Amino acid sequence: MSNNEIKLSMNSIKKIPGHQIVVLVMINMLTVLEPLFCDETKWLAIGSLHSWYSSAGCEIEIGRTHQVAEQQDGLRWPALYRWQDCQVAKALWIGTTNFNDLIVDKAFDHKVVHVGPRGPIDENNEFMSSDFILFGKFPHPTVIVDGLQASHTINMDKVDVFDEDLKTDRMLYNIVNTSIGITMTRKIYASSKQYHDNYFIHDYIYKNTGIYNKNGDTHNQTLEGLIIFYQFRLAPSREIGLGGLQTLPQTASWGHNTMNHVYHPFYGDTLRGFLSYHGRHSQATFDNIGGPNISGDGHLGAAQFPGVVVLHADVSATNKNNDYSQPSSTPFLDSGSGITRDNSQFNEVLMSEEYALMSSGHPDLTHDEAVGDEYPDQWQPVSQSGKSQCLGFGPYELNPGDSIRIVFAEGVNGINRSLCYQIGSQWLEGLSSYNMPDGSSTNNADEFKNAWVFTGVDSILKTFDHATRNWELDFSLPESPPPPNVFEVTSGGNGINLKWSNNAESWLNFSGYKIYRSIHKPDTTFELIFECGLGTDNPIVNDYFDNTAKRGFQYYYYILTFDDGSSNIIEYGVPMRSNLFWTRTNEPAFLRRPPGENLSDIRIVPNPYHIKARNLQFGESGPDRIMFYNLPGFCTIKIFTERGDLISIIEHDNGSGDEAWDSLTSSRQVVDSGVYIAHIETPTGESTVHKFAVVR
């Protein structure tokens, strides 16, 4: 889709009803050059990789909410689970030489403009956004649970414009003018296709329009020595602790052990790009590769390998062939250094230092090779925040009206979630022998764990291959069948009813449906519970009654469509499937028993609750659950300690006879062993008291 086509699309394609653009503005009018926070953010969240993007043109540290609590935020993979964020900060610097700055009427030997890695963003004077639009090929499905909208896409997939001719399922379109006179047009493509839902393709055009302020004033300068410089500060992953290891103080672990490996012809590679991974830390009392949860079940919380692969970089403004020597600069940078903090576009000394970094070429060794067998947190003690990986493109010369194009894909891959639990638990158990990925065996637990973790390198390289092929084929890979455009789940007394629309059945080679279910929470492993169509025992249908649901459990679902495998050019014969994120429910369904008729019929189960039997009661997903049965349809449950301290209030308002309590106080603390009192009162003032015991 060309820029002109996008402009036409904006005038002719129906926008989503009720679309709102949210702009957060902090106003300070003391001078025209005062930086302002006024960027808007949008999510790409239709596949297994979710990330947010800023209208300013790049994603700075804590840039989505400007809250420190979101310091590690973005590049979530696998996004089905919580706290999988691998992104800390990014930056985009654009530098040139011998620049006559009309804003301050001064000539600079080196002029550098910035967004990131830290704020504030100056969208009024430095990076000035003019367009920020999320295009969609089709609307996300309607997902309903018991009458409620129940899909994450309601809040995260906020499409502005629909275009059925879009190359991919979603495209984020962003135009930013800069005070250096470069106008950046950024298109970020996201797909829900099988094998292609864990990366985004970034397509950048940098054009010398001469526009240097919000008024649209222009200069008429040739930009010499132009360098486009990206910074990536990655840290797999937030699950094991914000920026580091949960077993270490944040000040000791914040990003220190992230390792970066660059691929480039300079190092003898054909690939261009880099990957990051969770490296060793000197203060860990165990082998921390993969981020095992040593205080719990051992599962690996940092087995992700995020990275970037370069797909195209123009040779010059007049030669649009792919320059395989680009990026020309791949330094790794101390993420806490002063050069990342005071990004003034008028500080002559600082801009010269920045340009020197941007044009520094390739280190003799990549970051992880330079660290070698040492601990990355001790390898360079002056480091405060670990190392960011940088990619610099250029130098280019752009006459007025000239442009250059840079394209890369950012993605994440690694071993799957089931293996993270399986490998981590075996490592923690201390077995006498372990099975290695190549089929051999070892009695060294660390060797076993680490070998499996580093199979993630092959996985991210395969992702790079998929992105490269997709780009080379101009996004013309075969489509997966579409999801049902309506998926509805209804709780009942004897089971849970699921029904869905038949729109996918007209798709070429459509073959059937598969339904998956999880228990108690939507961010855990789902299991196949029903399938119909080709290769199954059931004819194609559009509804399913889940009569295996049990009282006291909460259930979440998603439905996939699949074809006959003939369109799969990567693994021929393996069916292509729709993506789970289109239909995954985030509201629980459960057996709705009728309300009790008498307060005396109320039961508390189990009573006593015993921690040793926790997994026999409501399963591993709800181990601390206590159920109240035969309740009135509407009542208030107040839970007291035996000495009379109120610890929790539950408003039961769903009209059924069941209510769950996860043994948590109002301050989210798990209750201790003891006797507890439940006071249950109806809206009419009737009440009853029941005792129950907890043994931990």
Segment 271-283 mean pLDDT: 95
Position 2 in a domain: no
- 529 and 389 in one domain? no
Q: What is the pLDDT of residues 88-136, one digit of tens each?
A: 999 999 999 999 999 999 999 999 999 999 978 899 999 999 999 999 9
- 629 and 500 in one domain? no
Structural tokens at position 111: 């002029």
Segment 660-686 mean pLDDT: 93
Position 503 in a domain: yes
Measured CA to CA, the distance from residue 587 to residue 147 in angstroms comes to 10
- 625 and 560 in one domain? no
Position 399 in a domain: yes
Instruction: Average the pLDDT over each of 145-159, 181-195, 390-404 and give the range with the smallest value.
Output: 145-159
Position 590 in a domain: no
Q: Which amino acid is at 456?
A: G
Phi, psi of 205, rounded to the nearest 5 degrees: -120, 125
Percent of the chain with pLDDT over 90: 76
**E strands along 301-349, which residues?**
304-313, 332-334
Task: Give the range of the structural domain holding residue 379, as residue numbers without chain letter.
Answer: 41-138+163-413
Measured CA to CA, the distance from residue 351 to residue 104 in angstroms comes to 15
Q: What is the pTM of this model?
A: 0.85
Measured CA to CA, the distance from residue 103 to residue 106 in angstroms comes to 8
Give the 3-state secondary structure of 366-385: CHHHHHCCCCHHHHCCCCCC
Position 435 in a domain: no
- 491 and 566 in one domain? yes
Q: What is the pLDDT of residues 434-472, one digit of tens each?
A: 999 999 999 999 999 999 999 999 999 999 999 999 999
- 576 and 604 in one domain? no
- 345 and 372 in one domain? yes
State the DSSP code for 461: H
Q: Among 352, 382, 413, where does a domain finish? A: 413
What is the domain-level CATH number for residue 494?
A: 2.60.40.10
- 625 and 533 in one domain? no
Instruction: Average the pLDDT over each of 1-10, 19-28, 589-598 and give the range with the smallest value.
Output: 19-28
- 257 and 316 in one domain? yes
What is the domain-level CATH number for residue 639?
A: 2.60.40.1930
Which residues fall within 8 angstroms of residue 278, CB to CB, at 6 or more apart? 235, 236, 237, 240, 257, 258, 259, 288, 289, 290, 291, 302, 303, 304
- 646 and 497 in one domain? no
Q: Among 361, 383, 413, where does a domain finish? A: 413
- 232 and 190 in one domain? yes
Phi, psi of 188, rounded to the nearest 5 degrees: -115, 120
- 316 and 352 in one domain? yes
* Number of domains, the chain: 3
Position 456 in a domain: no
- 568 and 616 in one domain? no
What is the domain-level CATH number for residue 51?
A: 2.70.98
225: left (phi over 0), alpha (psi -120 to 50) or beta: left
Q: Among 413, 435, 465, where does a domain finish? A: 413
SS3 122: strand
Q: What is the pLDDT of residues 294-328, one digit of tens each?
A: 988 999 999 999 999 999 999 999 999 999 999 99
Instruction: Determine the Cα angle at 188 with ends 187 and 194, to 5°.
Output: 140
